[in-house]
Structure 1
């Protein structure tokens, strides 16, 4: 048996040319089996990827709703805020009205007109209010301001002290 140099450097040695041909050309069934496995793995991988993409798209759809719904929601919130603002303004206005009414009652209590309504008069001489009997003398002309107008009077007598009949 003779050996050639190529026999020693080759990965596989075949005893005959037909065996060498069988070794060089792989089995078609093995290749078909390998290709079938690769095809199934590729299809499975692609289906898995498509499912993940579909889930992502569904999540994005939920987040990015149609602008009409978004605007309707914002309009509803705006209406609620307007309603709350209106109620708050009415409440504040009511509080101010009550406060103003209390101030009005307090003003009426100290108002000279309210005093006149109770039957009193404001007496003045030369546009100055007379507070004491010492401010006038017998014969002075004075004006009495009443609730419905004024009357002119003349001082006939004065009486000092608290002996009046009021």
Structure 2
């Protein structure tokens, strides 16, 4: 019985090692990341809404403010904000951001940027591996629209 348990343990360890070895090859060949390979994905951001209110002087538009927290080394998946106009202000830390067709830019505490409606946000990440980063984000969107739509997985 002990030999069977040891053999099962060695087999499981070998399967984990084999998965680590073949996962990058599967991703290169198919564009898909095997489930076992997703364990090493960087942490993601957390969006906490502060206020959502219809704009009284602009029919069909809503103002939404939110805090976006990025743990150390966190990276958002590529996404869009639909038809929303977006304003982002760095409250804490350092964030690297890149919109499709533009160079990456690093923003520090007190700096800000805007995203035009329909912009494709291909990179947003906390540049620090040890310190959190935090943004205040303002959305002016069509009432009822989703504020963030992640790119579909490949």
Q: Under TM normalisation by the shorter chain, which class is it? A: under 0.3
What TM-score does the superposition give when structure 2 sets the normalisation length? 0.20
Instruction: Give the greater-gyration-radius structure (CA).
Output: 1
Bigger fraction of residues in strand: 2
Q: Which has the higher contact order (CA 8 A, sep 6+)?
A: 2
Which structure is higher in helix share?
Answer: 1
